[in-house]
Amino acid sequence: MYLSEQEVRAVLTYEALIPAIRQALIDYSAGRVNQPPRTILRAGNAADHRNGWFAVMPAVAGDVMGVKTVTFYAGNDEFSLPTHMAMIELLRRATGEPLALMDGRLITEMRTAAVSAVAFSALAPLHFKSTPSSFGILGSGVQANAHIEALRTVWPGLKDVRIASRNRANADKLAAETGSRAVKAEEAADADVVLTATSSPTPVLLGKWLSARTLVLAVGATGSTLRELDDEAMSSSYVVAEGRASVERESGDVLLSGAKVQAEIGEILADPASANVPRNRRVVFKSVGMAIEDLTAARLVWEARTSGSIPA
C-alpha cells in the first residue's frame, strides 16, 4: 500500500497525533523503544549552506517497525521545493511484512510540531505560575505555521502570536493567514513562550532579549555545527531534551554552548511530580527529531486508512 501526502493529510490530525506522541516519548524514556542513532550522509551538491543531507532513521516499538529516509536541502526554497522530503516504510514486527509505504514530508512537519505541543503541555504548568499568554516565533516557514496550529490545539487561550523573520514579506503573509502579528525579533523574543524554527547556522535568539522566565521551544537548525540560541540563552536555561542521546549528539545549541541537558521530556511526562522544572529561570526544550515519532505517526495513518489493528 502506497499513501501519498494527500492521503496522509486526509487522516492525520493533531487531536490524534499529540496524545500518541506523548505516549511514544514516555515509552522512549522508559527504554521500550529500539532506536539507533540516525545515519546522516552529506549530498555534496554544494560547498555552502545549500549542501543537502540524506538521513536514515529506523525504529522498533510495540507491534511495528519502520524506517524513514529523509532529505534536507536548505537551498530548495530557490526552486519552490520543500526543504524537507521523506518516505516512511511501516512493517509488521511479528512477521517483518511491509504494511505501507507513505510520503513522509507532512508527517515530519506534523510530528515535529506535535512534539513541541506535548512539551509545552508538560512544561508550562510546572514552569509558569499562571497560564502564559504570548507566543513568539522566530521563523516564518512550514514549522512556524505547523506550530501555531499544534499549540492552539493544547493552548486554546492563545491569542497573542508574534512572528519574526528575516523575510518580512513571509512574516506578514503568515501573520495574515493565522491571525498573528509580524514583529521584530526582539519583540517576538519577549513573549512568554518562544519558538525558534529556522535553518540558521548562527544564533537568531539572543539571551539578552529573553525575560527571566521564558520557555523556549528550539526545533530548528539540527546539526552539531548549527545553532539558533546564543551562549547566554543556553547557559541561563534549564535544558530539557526530546531525547538525551539524540540532542547531545546532534544539537549545536547544546554542543557549542557547553550547556548540560538536565532532563528528558519523557521522564517529566511519566512523573511530573518528581520533575525539578524551575519557575525562577528560563527553560529550553530542544528537539532534533526522532524515528519513534515518525513511526508513531505512520502507524496512526495506516490504522486510519485501513481501520484495522496490527495483531502480534
Q: Using an 8 Å Cβ cutoff, are 29 and 270 in contact? A: yes
As for how many domains the chain has, the answer is: 2
Dig out the grid coordinates for 219 from the structure.
Answer: 526545533
Dig out the grid coordinates for 32 from the structure.
Answer: 521500550
Are residues 259 and 221 both part of a single domain?
yes
pLDDT band per the 50, 70, 90 thresholds, residue 221: confident
* Whether pLDDT at 312 is above 60: no
Q: What is the DSSP string of 178-210?
A: HT-EE--HHHHHTSSEEEE----SS--B-GGGS
Determine the Cα–Cα distance for residues 59 and 43; give it in Å rounded to an integer: 23
Give the residues across from 65 on adjacent strands: 60, 91
Are residues 83 and 128 both part of a single domain?
no
Which pTM does this prediction carry? 0.95
Q: What is the mean pLDDT of residues 119-137?
A: 97
Determine the Cα–Cα distance for residues 294 and 177; give it in Å rounded to an integer: 27
Are residues 89 and 197 both part of a single domain?
no
Determine the Cα–Cα distance for residues 217 and 214; give it in Å rounded to an integer: 10
Percent of the chain whose pLDDT exceeds 90:
87
Q: Using an 8 Å Cβ cutoff, are 138 and 162 in contact? A: no
pLDDT for 75 equals: 87
Look at residue 113 and tell me if it is in a domain. Answer: no
Q: Give the residue with greater pLDDT, 309 vs 166.
A: 166
pLDDT digits (tens, 9 = 90+) for 153-198: 999 999 999 999 999 999 999 999 999 999 999 999 999 999 999 9
Are residues 144 and 203 both part of a single domain?
yes
CATH number at residue 250: 3.40.50.720
Are residues 197 and 94 both part of a single domain?
no
39-42 and 53-61 strand pairing: antiparallel
Q: Using an 8 Å Cβ cutoff, are 137 and 38 in contact? A: no
Query: Mean pLDDT, the chain, as a whole number?
Result: 95
